Structure 1
Amino acid sequence: MPEPKDIILDVRDLKVTFDTPDGSVEAVKGIDLHVRAGETLAVVGESGSGKSQTMMGIMGLLAANGRVTGRAAYRGQDLIGLPVKALNAVRGAKITMIFQEPMSSLDPLYTIGRQISEPIVHHRGGSFRQARTRVLELLELVGIPDPRRRIDSYPHELSGGQRQRAMIAMALANDPDILIADEPTTALDVTIQAQILDLLRSLQTRFGMAVVLITHDLGVVRHVADRVVVMRRGEVVEQGLTTDIFERPQADYTKMLLDAEPRGEKPPVPTSAPILLDGQRVSVDYATGGGLFSKRSGTFRAVDKVSIRLQEGQTIGVVGESGSGKSTLGRALLQLVPASGVIHFDGQDISGFDRRAMRPLRREMQLVFQDPFGSLSPRQTVGEIITEGLYVHEPELSRADRDKRAIEALKEVGLDPQARNRYPHEFSGGQRQRIAIARAMILKPRLVILDEPTSALDRSVQGQVIDLLRSLQDAHGLSYVFISHDLAVIKAMADYVIVMKDGEIVEEGETETLFAAPRQAYTQTLLSAAYTAV
């Protein structure tokens, strides 16, 4: 049956299969979808739903052990099984793709200008020198400041937002029909995220291209998509107009995704609650220099005279963009980086404590990181990871006692105790974060610094981790410093909020008051830029 004239990409019975040592794994199980000219189609679902593999299969970009079958017709031409030369005439020209993390997609050995020139030279011919004029036009189009200077910059010399803009410039080089954006804003701060989404919308209007947005952020989808395809475990469970999906979802899975947005609020602790952590005029300076043979040196102030007072049972949310100093502040409070100022923990002045002096306090002051996979040793079992701290802080425990404690810790974070005999790579992102939390909780701490603990997780998994952290706080009277750029999560978790910019506090107050009536322009910008329901 011929498709309507405005359908430019028609996908029928698409299957993606990977050959593994344990047999074939079907990542995409015969799905149908289509893309109309000029529209924004959002493909949503949790990690492992098959949304990215669907587009990689269409583009012929699967890993070596991947196979794709079915039909993906671009303006009537089936891309599946197309010879590489013919496929290359389409991808990079008519259909282009940008990825979640531009730093891993850009070659660190080549300048931004050279990399943006490549698709121009490949598809249009000519030299890299001749393509330079077009590259300058593209850099200006995507809003990179001072394009004549930045064209010769390397990826590491650009900010995260600028790198993503460079990727968009590369994707637009040949005026594509379809732009596939795979989680293009997940790794960005809320204000940069808003800028990138606004940029994509304006470029879409200017060039009349279709955008396929792959994401798990339903807040973004609600604001930018015309239609939505919901995927789960390699299948399409629901698709339709964005308004219909959000207002009248039919599939239980879609309803679950919509309900996974962080909800609830934490009431303030009584004013009489004891002070557990008190930092006054905390500052952190880093030495800067031009390299081994440079005579120029100086200092960069990452945290500038910040004061913070945390009560027992309280959660203070620390928000701000990348480079605001929020993570550095968390490490300074734990004496993990050299800092000036005065820090008291449970009434004891720990300012300037060295590693040896801090060791007895470490069990009461724990840290949970953003990326649990990077912070968990791949060579240790989960049981060994969780109990590692017990060797230092409770060396008298027997092996059986440590194993018992590991079982208790895993149960408390909602994991099967048998997990202690497995390795981190065998678990999902949410499960690995539960393991990281168990490692901290096994020592029965009083203070936990949580540094972006949910930003790498799907919304539904975020909700589970938030519920877990709340229950642990209630059960053990924990105090949290919760560092995040996700305002929806902060609103659900914290009873007090500190807003940081350029190493300083620009505003602070009780969560409900700050979100309802922010006083400072910067805070207002953060809140207005948030696409999630805060």
Structure 2
Amino acid sequence: MSKINENTVLEIDNLKVDFETNTGMVHAVKGVNIHVDSGETVAIVGESGSGKSQTMMAAMGLLAGNGITHGEVRYRGENILGSSIRKLNKIRGAKVTMIFQEPMTSLDPLYTIERQLCEPMVEHGEYTWASAKKRAVELLELVGIPEPARKVKAYPYEMSGGQRQRVMIAMALANDPDVLIADEPTTALDVTTQAQILELMADLQRRLGMAVVFITHDLAIVERISDRVYVMKSGEVVEEGPTKEIFGQPKHDYTKMLLDAEPTGLKSMVPDSNPIVLDAEKVRVEFETETGFLKPNHVLRAVNDISMEVREGQTLGIVGESGSGKSTLGRAVLQLLPNASGRVVYQGNDITGASKKKMRPLRKEMQLIFQDPFGSLSPRMTVGQIITEGLLVHEPQLSAKERDQRAIQALEEVSMDPAMRNRYPHEFSGGQRQRIAIARTMILNPKLVVLDEPTSALDRTVQKQVVELLRNLQKEHGLTYLFISHDLAVVRAMSDTVMVMQKGEVVEKGLAEEIFSNPKEEYTKELIAAAALKPA
């Protein structure tokens, strides 16, 4: 195990973090010790709520107003915990910088990339505005953004998720920091973009010699990039050591559980005699965007003549990078996009271009589960009201007592305590909220369910639980799934067949086992290599 020495650049000593709440004191971090040496990558891993992010937020002096800290945080031997804002601002953003999980919420939508890159450089007194603008272009080039001189004038919404994350890295590197703290920087990215970002960070670390603290719940990333690992559970470090030791010979049961959390196994194939639930031919979706005064509008073809056939009880996994058109395809077959064309047949009925009136009775059977359960659940409604909302539309004859009984059954089916139905979404974890979203769907007894990235925001342990839940529900009710995801481990565990998409086109299609064991197309091989999958 690495010892604290003269190369130690950041040291956290017996750190405790408490939060004052209406229901009493919450002990989020309980005496944590962490150190980082120059040039090394240290990973802090654990499930949501383990305290890993709060540990580093406290170190940076970025806790919420009700946060209370004890202990010491030493940067190059000097304790900075509890320092004044003036003193902290000389260190954070210059010597110690942080990349946050969701770049879209960290970047100001009203300012150009140039303005947001230049501001910290000028603020810390190292650059004038003129020199900062020149440096901003250099930084975008450094992090691999094409046409940096043009992109620097763009706004955040004009860039992809991967490009926005690269901007955040560029911002963090602007003042040549000693320590870069990256808090779940790749969670929302597809596997190829994720691999690019990780390679970029590793390359920059080698060139600049900085220390990196990588906060994540993705152990595949940790194994790939880190020198040492701290495993956190319930606010405490339960195990630490060199990465090879942690992965090769884990000692703590919690570490072993995390390492075993990746969804595994292959789905049993459904017989060809099962009836076809969804048959789509040459589905096409085009979006028209304005290009300027007196100029013809630009037409973007998001989905280009895609056909599919899915049988009862079958799961078709749809994979691809962000922008490949997979989510758009899912919405098109559900007749949720007015600009879609092609033929869609549901259970023998042609629903192509069907009116809202014709589709309304079918909506009960054709359901959609979204990526972000918190964003798709109304914060002003109780869980019971959320789950039974669809019944008010599709089964209006039910009494309040009957709806409540159905809510109890739906919650029990997704392994949640029915007594929780009078609570609100913010009172639940991410995994629990996703179970609520699934219960809201299952209460209507659907036949076809489109699952759009339903596990991407969840810890691996919770992912495994949700995958098992979805498998059981499918088996019990004969459900047909379109499973849209960039997480290949989850797709492999869920799918009978797989469709690989790129730029609105189908690159490769076939049985899941064949696609993952013997991919034929180069793009598919790149996706699988980037995912670093364990054996099924």
Q: Same fold by TM-score, threshold 0.5 exceeded?
A: yes
Aligned to 2:531: 530
Aligned to 1:249: 250
Aligned to 2:73: 72
Map 1:9-28 onto structure 2 (within 5 A): 9-28=10-29
Question: 2:455·2:466 contact (CA, 8 Å) conserved in 1?
Answer: yes
- Post-superposition shift, 1:342? 1.0
Q: Which amino acid aligns with 2:438?
A: I
Aligned equivalents of 2:198 and 2:149: distance in 1? 24
| Deviation by residue 1:477-523 (Cα, 9 ceiling, x = unmatched) | 11111000000100111010001111111110000101111111111
> SS of the residue aligned with 2:284?
strand
Question: 1:219·1:533 contact (CA, 8 Å) conserved in 2?
Answer: no
1:163 aligns to 2:174 (yes or no): no
| Deviation by residue 1:404-442 (Cα, 9 ceiling, x = unmatched) | 111111100000011111111111111111011011111
Aligned to 2:309: 309
Higher mean C-alpha displacement, 381-390 vs 429-438: 381-390
1:430 aligns to 2:442 (yes or no): no
5+ residue gaps, structure 1: none
Q: Which amino acid aligns with 2:520?
A: R
Question: 1:216·1:459 contact (CA, 8 Å) conserved in 2?
Answer: yes
Aligned to 2:275: 274
- Post-superposition shift, 1:126? 4.1
- Post-superposition shift, 1:26? 1.6
Aligned equivalents of 2:147 and 2:295: distance in 1? 28
Aligned equivalents of 1:136 and 1:330: distance in 2? 38
> SS of the residue aligned with 1:397?
coil
The alpha-carbon distance between structure 1 residues 532 and 294, as it changes in their structure 2 partners (threshold 3 A), is farther
Aligned to 1:31: 32
Aligned equivalents of 1:276 and 1:195: distance in 2? 38
Aligned to 1:328: 328
User: Aligned pair count?
Assistant: 532
Q: Which amino acid aligns with 2:495?
A: A
- Post-superposition shift, 1:23? 2.2
- Post-superposition shift, 1:130? 2.1
Aligned equivalents of 2:249 and 2:466: distance in 1? 27
Map 1:73-88 onto structure 2 (within 5 A): 73-88=74-89
Task: With the length of structure 1 as denominator, give the TM-score of the two structures.
Answer: 0.97
Question: 1:223·1:531 contact (CA, 8 Å) conserved in 2?
Answer: no
Question: 1:360·1:393 contact (CA, 8 Å) conserved in 2?
Answer: yes
Map 1:20-169 onto structure 2 (within 5 A): 20-169=21-170
Aligned equivalents of 1:410 and 1:84: distance in 2? 47
Aligned equivalents of 1:528 and 1:517: distance in 2? 12
Aligned equivalents of 1:285 and 1:150: distance in 2? 25
Aligned to 1:6: 7
Aligned equivalents of 2:64 and 2:19: distance in 1? 8
Q: Which amino acid aligns with 1:38?
A: G
5+ residue gaps, structure 2: none
Q: Which amino acid aligns with 2:10?
A: L
Q: Which amino acid aligns with 1:313?
A: G
Aligned to 2:319: 319
> What fraction of aligned residue pairs are identical, expressed as a percent?
63
Aligned to 1:341: 342
- Post-superposition shift, 1:119? 2.2
> SS of the residue aligned with 2:35?
strand
Q: Which amino acid aligns with 2:382?
A: T
Runs (4 or more) in structure 1 with deviation over 4 Å come to none
The alpha-carbon distance between structure 1 residues 232 and 427, as it changes in their structure 2 partners (threshold 3 A), is same
Aligned equivalents of 1:325 and 1:70: distance in 2? 49
Map 1:336-485 onto structure 2 (within 5 A): 336-338=336-338, 339-485=340-486
> SS of the residue aligned with 2:251?
coil
Aligned to 1:499: 500
- Post-superposition shift, 1:224? 0.5
Q: Which amino acid aligns with 1:299?
A: V
Aligned equivalents of 1:312 and 1:116: distance in 2? 52
> SS of the residue aligned with 1:386?
helix
Q: Which amino acid aligns with 1:245?
A: I
Aligned equivalents of 2:443 and 2:344: distance in 1? 25
- Post-superposition shift, 1:294? 6.4
> SS of the residue aligned with 1:269?
coil
| Deviation by residue 1:362-405 (Cα, 9 ceiling, x = unmatched) | 11111111111111111211111111111222222222221111
- Post-superposition shift, 1:247? 1.5
> SS of the residue aligned with 2:463?
helix
| Deviation by residue 1:71-95 (Cα, 9 ceiling, x = unmatched) | 1111110111222222222111111
Question: 2:282·2:306 contact (CA, 8 Å) conserved in 1?
Answer: yes
Question: 2:117·2:174 contact (CA, 8 Å) conserved in 1?
Answer: yes
> SS of the residue aligned with 1:332?
helix
Map 1:200-239 onto structure 2 (within 5 A): 200-239=201-240
Question: 1:7·1:34 contact (CA, 8 Å) conserved in 2?
Answer: yes
Q: Which amino acid aligns with 1:201?
A: A
> SS of the residue aligned with 2:206?
helix
> SS of the residue aligned with 2:353?
coil
- Post-superposition shift, 1:533? 3.1
Q: Which amino acid aligns with 1:323?
A: G
- Post-superposition shift, 1:52? 0.7
The alpha-carbon distance between structure 1 residues 242 and 27, as it changes in their structure 2 partners (threshold 3 A), is same
Q: Which amino acid aligns with 1:249?
A: P
| Deviation by residue 1:113-143 (Cα, 9 ceiling, x = unmatched) | 2221222222234421122222222121111
Aligned equivalents of 1:29 and 1:520: distance in 2? 50
Aligned equivalents of 1:355 and 1:347: distance in 2? 19
> SS of the residue aligned with 2:458?
coil
Question: 1:268·1:510 contact (CA, 8 Å) conserved in 2?
Answer: no
Question: 2:4·2:35 contact (CA, 8 Å) conserved in 1?
Answer: no
Aligned equivalents of 2:133 and 2:503: distance in 1? 35
> SS of the residue aligned with 1:124?
coil
Q: Which amino acid aligns with 1:73?
A: R
Higher mean C-alpha displacement, 107-116 vs 53-62: 107-116
Higher mean C-alpha displacement, 116-125 vs 44-53: 116-125
Question: 1:194·1:531 contact (CA, 8 Å) conserved in 2?
Answer: no
Aligned equivalents of 2:534 and 2:209: distance in 1? 29
Question: 2:291·2:298 contact (CA, 8 Å) conserved in 1?
Answer: no
| Deviation by residue 1:294-346 (Cα, 9 ceiling, x = unmatched) | 65424321111100100111000000111111111111111111221111111
| Deviation by residue 1:4-43 (Cα, 9 ceiling, x = unmatched) | 2222212111011122222221211111111111111000
Aligned equivalents of 1:157 and 1:68: distance in 2? 39
